[in-house]
Chain A
Amino acid sequence: MSGIHVSTKINGDAVEFVCDVEETLLDVLRDKLGMTGSKEGCASGDCGACSVTVDGRLTCSCLMLGAEAEGHDIGTIEGIAKGTQLHPIQQKILDHAALQCGVCTPGFVVAAKALLEKNPDPTETEVRFWLAGNLCRCTGYDKIIRAVMDAAAEMRGQ
């Protein structure tokens, strides 16, 4: 089988890789590039644990082929904190104890960040519907929703 050569940008850095036709972007991130922050919970687009952004748009990396990353700008969980400086969403998830096992957390961080970039002042209902593509089995979502609302308020300067 012949590999496909792909040039892309991940978290602002130029990245090249060779992948098989059937490999998903998630496989490439995890198995080829060693970026294991994106998780595979289902590989069918139902859990959101693999959330990334593609040119700023929230995407399940398990539903996209690695080859499709050619020429696009990919954002992953690894690129969200700036050095040791956490993004407000990450900080608020910690402050609100909005994680138990934490396997869903990277996906929620990526998804919530995409939400707040589109809608800096969401209602609780809007947050709940936006995050409905991210499954969390541990927390019952309560503390996650509070953390995202609180992060939004802080980012608005309130």
Chain B
Amino acid sequence: MARNPDADSAPAPKAVKTSTIEFDADKAKTFKVVGSRPPRPDGMDKVTGRARFGADMVMPGQLVGLILRSPHPHAVIVSIDTTAAEALSGVKSVITRDDFAENADHHDVLCNIMAREKALYEGHAIAAVAATSKAVARKALKLIKVDYQILPHVTDVDLAMAPDAPLLHADMITSGVTPAPTKPSNIAGRSEFGHGDVEAGFALADVIIERDFKTAATHQGYIEPHACVANVGADGMSELWCCTQGHFHVRQVCASLLGIDVSRLRVTASEIGGGFGGKTTVFIEPVALALSRKAGRPVKIAMSRDEVFKASGPTASSSMNVKIGVTKDGHITAGEGEFRYQGGAFAGAPADFGAMSAFACYALDNVKTVAYDVVTNRPKGAAYRAPGAPMSVYAVESVIAELAGEIGMDPIELRLKNAAREGTKSSYGPKFGSCGLVETLEAARDHPHYSAPLGPNQGRGVASGFWFNFGGETCSTLNINADGTVAIAVGTPDIGGSRAAMCIMAAEELGIPYERVRTIVADTSSLGYNDTTEGSRVTFSSGMAVIKASRKAVTEMCNRAAMIWDIPAEAVTWEDGHAKPSGANAGEFEPMSLAEIAATASKTGGPIAGHHEYNADGAGVSFGTHIVDTEVDPETGRVDILRYTVVQDAGKAIHPDYVEGQFQGGAVQGIGWALNEEYIYGEDGRLQNAGFLDYRMPVASDLPMIDTVIVEVPNPGHPYGVRGVGETGIVPPLAAIANGVSAAAGVRLTELPMSPPRVLKAIDDAKVAAQ
């Protein structure tokens, strides 16, 4: 469900043929490797500096590529003159938008990676150079003359929706509105979700609370800037090395933008230094390819941190209203919300996901949400961990906390009374299958954290959150090596330890030690198409492909044993890594190990492998509940996080260390979003804090340990019960912390981040109001 918000590059609707393997309850009782915590296969390389990330690749004869970017948030590009740059000694190629053919399939992506008529945000790419050194490339950028005609700009979502706002796209007609508007606007789309009759629902309520909320845009903040090396041969045979969450997607988009066959472009995913959704699309890759094609030499482009902030894809900022009604005894009678998200200069803000997930934690008779996807003069957004959900859930969970206070009910009790469970018609349409919200709420309620005493100026917050989880196109190949070891190829880049999870699942199926299995992320020429690492899909989908591939290899190994023993294949079973004769007329044979079967494979029919390709369905929704203790300094407005507990349903934790790691990482990104992180724009439409000093992400001294509780409510759509765990962890913290801070400060905070000046102002305003 977590799709790349490149509306433009999102794949066309998929054929309906999908497949699942049912949950295997018997297997679950006998896990030997699943649930253990072995060292990860890429760990050694990463603690020694040997692992190669995007910027660590060098190709012979490689040039340095740099991109010229617009200093203006909104301007007509009257002309670009590259003659002086081209004439500079050491410059091997200079490109502009003229070097790309128009492309209807990826129009917005193309306009984003290289501007044409207009620069739409500060940092928008205008031209690029490749030169023999960085110094020469820098000099060349200065020699490119661009004549801009500056236009009025808009960076705020509500201002961008106003009828007299500066218009970004003259042809943008709001979708999802009937009749279609006759005039263009900055509203790319409107969508609506829900069921029942909210007005009738509110009429039944004893207490109704309605509030407005705002959240700032934040960046995924991966420590590794985007980097790639492109090498286009004279015959068009091309290779691309890049840090990406989805090298198959990169191949598809780049081949299309360059007008070459997909088979001519081999993309290798480097080790990736964090992505969180931000590396699911292309920025520099097509530019490097076009520079290389023109120069006839490899070109490396590595973004600076400044470029990452200004010209990669942050997430949306939002402006929202939420209204919820409840009876005195805690029955929610209706919920309603409007969610306005700006996602930068092109359509694709994840407002629809926000509106869909806002009330997903609740079983409601009456619910209505409306989403607006709005464009502004900011960089084109990209996915960020559960895209769209943290903001809308922040608004809803803030109002839920306030309602609990109003009716004098424990906030977890109120949530339990209304919690979505198996069979609930979700607020966005489908009925939920088996899911674990109730279990996470109960575990949170029973956790010692929830009843620990609090001191003065301290407040406890609780919130729940939801994410859809995604399956998607996936394939994997498993080879049994002659020495009895196993090699697995997957097509989903490993951003958090997934190779370890693949090895665990194969070891489990094959009945061999974890250490005998190695998993690699194959390049795009070595394996069939795989959807991107996104939507918390990898351990679920690639894992299921690995399990299926293992089972096929096991069948083949049983066949080989049957051939050696000269008995029917049905009379052989697989147990503990061995083929064994079984049944009445199987005969008496010593079991054969995987290694023995592998060693004789050349005589029994050649190499043994298993492969599985499918479109994964049945990902299984994910819920979590967080508890946080905060302390507010009434003098300065500074907030400290004193204690934090994450409770989340993992379905089945394959490698619990990395499940906990996902919970902890998501929670801490949420803490940053709640307290400090924000894109700050000046009146001039320029980003004022494009660096880690001023865009303040949490550091070790800001934080306590992050306690975790893994709840396991098996997902019936996976043989081991796995649910994706990567994204849900960032959904509850915004609200949990807002609820904690509001309790500590004695006043409801409704705007993120809750930076010290904002908290202090809220406290002071409340004092004035009380007098």
- The reply to whether A132 and B700 form a contact with Cβ atoms under 8 Å apart is yes
Q: Is A135 an interface residue (CB 8 A)?
A: yes
Most buried by B among A43, A46, A80: A46
Q: Is B55 an interface residue (CB 8 A)?
A: yes
Q: Is A99 an interface residue (CB 8 A)?
A: yes
**Complex interface residues of chain A between 88 and 107 (CB less than 8 A to chain B):** 90-91, 93-97, 99-106
**Complex interface residues of chain B between 268 and 305 (CB less than 8 A to chain A):** 271-276, 302, 304-305
Residues of A contacting B698 in the complex (Cβ-Cβ under 8 angstroms): 140-141
When the two chains form the complex, which single residue of B220, B305, B699, B705 contacts A142, counting CB atoms closer than 8 Å?
B705
- The reply to whether B305 and A44 form a contact with Cβ atoms under 8 Å apart is yes
- The reply to whether A43 and B304 form a contact with Cβ atoms under 8 Å apart is yes
Residues of B contacting A36 in the complex (Cβ-Cβ under 8 angstroms): 49, 52-53, 55-56
Residues of B contacting A140 in the complex (Cβ-Cβ under 8 angstroms): 661, 664-665, 667-668, 698, 703, 706
Q: Is B223 an interface residue (CB 8 A)?
A: yes
Q: Is B44 an interface residue (CB 8 A)?
A: yes
- The reply to whether A137 and B665 form a contact with Cβ atoms under 8 Å apart is yes
Q: A97-B658, A140-B665, A140-B706 are in contact. Are A39 and B53 (CB under 8 A)?
A: yes
Q: Is B163 an interface residue (CB 8 A)?
A: no
Produce 1/0 per residue, B301-327, CB < 8 A to A.
010110000000000000000000000
Q: A1-B135, A103-B53, A137-B221 are in contact. Are A132 and B273 (CB under 8 A)?
A: no
Produce 1/0 per residue, B626-638, CB < 8 A to A.
0000000000000
Residues of A contacting B693 in the complex (Cβ-Cβ under 8 angstroms): 44, 46
Q: Is B669 an interface residue (CB 8 A)?
A: yes
Measured CB to CB, the nearest residue on chain B to A92 is B47
Q: Is B196 an interface residue (CB 8 A)?
A: no
Most buried by B among A47, A78, A102, A139: A102
Residues of B contacting A105 in the complex (Cβ-Cβ under 8 angstroms): 46-47
Q: Is A131 an interface residue (CB 8 A)?
A: yes
Measured CB to CB, the nearest residue on chain A to B656 is A97
Q: Is B37 an interface residue (CB 8 A)?
A: yes
Q: A20-B135, A103-B273, A135-B697 are in contact. Are A142 and B664 (CB under 8 A)?
A: yes
Residues of A contacting B764 in the complex (Cβ-Cβ under 8 angstroms): none
Name the distance in Å between B57's Cβ and chain A's nearest Cβ: 9
Name the distance in Å between B456's Cβ and chain A's nearest Cβ: 22
Most buried by B among A40, A76, A97: A97
Category for how many chain A residues contact B: 35 or more
- The reply to whether A37 and B48 form a contact with Cβ atoms under 8 Å apart is yes
Q: Is B236 an interface residue (CB 8 A)?
A: no
Q: How far is the CA of A95 from the CA of B48 in the complex (A)?
A: 14
Q: How far is the CA of A141 from the CA of B697 in the complex (A)?
A: 12
Residues of B contacting A18 in the complex (Cβ-Cβ under 8 angstroms): none
Residues of A contacting B365 in the complex (Cβ-Cβ under 8 angstroms): none
- The reply to whether A102 and B271 form a contact with Cβ atoms under 8 Å apart is yes
**Complex interface residues of chain B between 84 and 130 (CB less than 8 A to chain A):** none
Residues of B contacting A43 in the complex (Cβ-Cβ under 8 angstroms): 304-305
Q: How far is the CA of A78 from the CA of B50 in the complex (A)?
A: 8
When the two chains form the complex, which single residue of B46, B49, B305, B664 contacts A78, counting CB atoms closer than 8 Å?
B49
Residues of A contacting B757 in the complex (Cβ-Cβ under 8 angstroms): none
Q: How far is the CA of A99 from the CA of B660 in the complex (A)?
A: 12
Q: Is A155 an interface residue (CB 8 A)?
A: no
Measured CB to CB, the nearest residue on chain B to A95 is B39
- The reply to whether B274 and A81 form a contact with Cβ atoms under 8 Å apart is no
Produce 1/0 per residue, A28-43, CB < 8 A to B.
0010001111111111
Name the distance in Å between A76's Cβ and chain B's nearest Cβ: 7
Measured CB to CB, the nearest residue on chain A to B646 is A140
Residues of A contacting B495 in the complex (Cβ-Cβ under 8 angstroms): 100-101
Q: A131-B700, A137-B222 are in contact. Are A101 and B39 (CB under 8 A)?
A: no
Q: A42-B692, A137-B669 are in contact. Are A77 and B48 (CB under 8 A)?
A: yes
Residues of A contacting B692 in the complex (Cβ-Cβ under 8 angstroms): 41-42, 44, 46-47, 135
Residues of B contacting A128 in the complex (Cβ-Cβ under 8 angstroms): 700-701, 703
Q: A129-B701, A132-B699 are in contact. Are A142 and B706 (CB under 8 A)?
A: yes
Residues of A contacting B222 in the complex (Cβ-Cβ under 8 angstroms): 101, 103, 137
Q: Is B40 an interface residue (CB 8 A)?
A: yes
Q: How far is the CA of A141 from the CA of B50 in the complex (A)?
A: 22
Most buried by B among A47, A77, A129, A144: A47
- The reply to whether B223 and A136 form a contact with Cβ atoms under 8 Å apart is yes
Q: Is A145 an interface residue (CB 8 A)?
A: yes
When the two chains form the complex, which single residue of A81, A97, A145 contacts B705, counting CB atoms closer than 8 Å?
A145
Residues of A contacting B660 in the complex (Cβ-Cβ under 8 angstroms): 97, 143
Residues of B contacting A101 in the complex (Cβ-Cβ under 8 angstroms): 222-224, 271-275, 495-496
Q: How far is the CA of A135 from the CA of B47 in the complex (A)?
A: 16
- The reply to whether A99 and B47 form a contact with Cβ atoms under 8 Å apart is yes
Name the distance in Å between B279's Cβ and chain A's nearest Cβ: 10
- The reply to whether A97 and B661 form a contact with Cβ atoms under 8 Å apart is yes
Residues of A contacting B50 in the complex (Cβ-Cβ under 8 angstroms): 37
Q: Is B405 an interface residue (CB 8 A)?
A: no
Q: Is B657 an interface residue (CB 8 A)?
A: yes
Most buried by A among B40, B272, B276, B699: B699
Q: A86-B47, A93-B47 are in contact. Are A135 and B305 (CB under 8 A)?
A: no
Q: A78-B49, A86-B48, A101-B273 are in contact. Are A44 and B691 (CB under 8 A)?
A: yes
Measured CB to CB, the nearest residue on chain A to B696 is A46
Q: A41-B225, A47-B692, A140-B665 are in contact. Are A94 and B44 (CB under 8 A)?
A: yes
Measured CB to CB, the nearest residue on chain B to A127 is B700
When the two chains form the complex, which single residue of A30, A94, A100, A131 contacts B39, counting CB atoms closer than 8 Å?
A94
Measured CB to CB, the nearest residue on chain A to B54 is A103
Produce 1/0 per residue, B698-738, CB < 8 A to A.
11111101100000000000000000000000000000000
Name the distance in Å between B42's Cβ and chain A's nearest Cβ: 7
Measured CB to CB, the nearest residue on chain A to B666 is A140
Name the distance in Å between B274's Cβ and chain A's nearest Cβ: 5
- The reply to whether B43 and A94 form a contact with Cβ atoms under 8 Å apart is yes
Residues of B contacting A49 in the complex (Cβ-Cβ under 8 angstroms): 223
Q: How far is the CA of A94 from the CA of B45 in the complex (A)?
A: 10
- The reply to whether B223 and A103 form a contact with Cβ atoms under 8 Å apart is yes
Measured CB to CB, the nearest residue on chain A to B58 is A34
Residues of A contacting B221 in the complex (Cβ-Cβ under 8 angstroms): 135, 137
**Complex interface residues of chain B between 203 and 247 (CB less than 8 A to chain A):** 220-225
Q: Is B78 an interface residue (CB 8 A)?
A: no
Q: Is A138 an interface residue (CB 8 A)?
A: yes
Q: How far is the CA of A34 from the CA of B52 in the complex (A)?
A: 11
Name the distance in Å between A48's Cβ and chain B's nearest Cβ: 9
Q: Is A13 an interface residue (CB 8 A)?
A: no
Residues of A contacting B702 in the complex (Cβ-Cβ under 8 angstroms): 132
Measured CB to CB, the nearest residue on chain A to B50 is A37
**Complex interface residues of chain A between 59 and 92 (CB less than 8 A to chain B):** 76-78, 80-81, 86, 90-91
Q: A40-B225, A44-B692 are in contact. Are A109 and B703 (CB under 8 A)?
A: no
- The reply to whether A137 and B135 form a contact with Cβ atoms under 8 Å apart is no
Q: How far is the CA of A39 from the CA of B738 in the complex (A)?
A: 35
- The reply to whether A37 and B700 form a contact with Cβ atoms under 8 Å apart is no
Measured CB to CB, the nearest residue on chain B to A77 is B49
Measured CB to CB, the nearest residue on chain B to A87 is B47
Q: A104-B223, A127-B700, A144-B700 are in contact. Are A22 and B135 (CB under 8 A)?
A: yes
Produce 1/0 per residue, B647-684, CB < 8 A to A.
00000000101101110110111000000000000000
Residues of B contacting A86 in the complex (Cβ-Cβ under 8 angstroms): 44, 47-48
- Interface CB pairs A-B, < 8 A, 12: A36-B53, A39-B223, A94-B47, A97-B497, A97-B657, A101-B275, A102-B45, A106-B47, A134-B699, A137-B697, A141-B698, A142-B664
Taking A99-B47, A106-B48 as known contacts, 14 extra A-B pairs with beta carbons closer than 8 A to each other, sorted by chain A number, are A30-B55, A36-B55, A41-B224, A41-B225, A49-B223, A78-B48, A94-B43, A103-B224, A128-B700, A131-B699, A137-B669, A139-B664, A141-B668, A143-B664
B-side interface residues toward A, CB under 8 Å? 37, 39-40, 42-53, 55-56, 58, 135, 220-225, 271-276, 302, 304-305, 495-497, 655, 657-658, 660-662, 664-665, 667-669, 691-693, 697-703, 705-706
Q: Which 8 A-B pairs have the closest CB atoms?
A: A37-B49, A103-B273, A102-B46, A140-B668, A97-B657, A140-B664, A46-B692, A77-B49
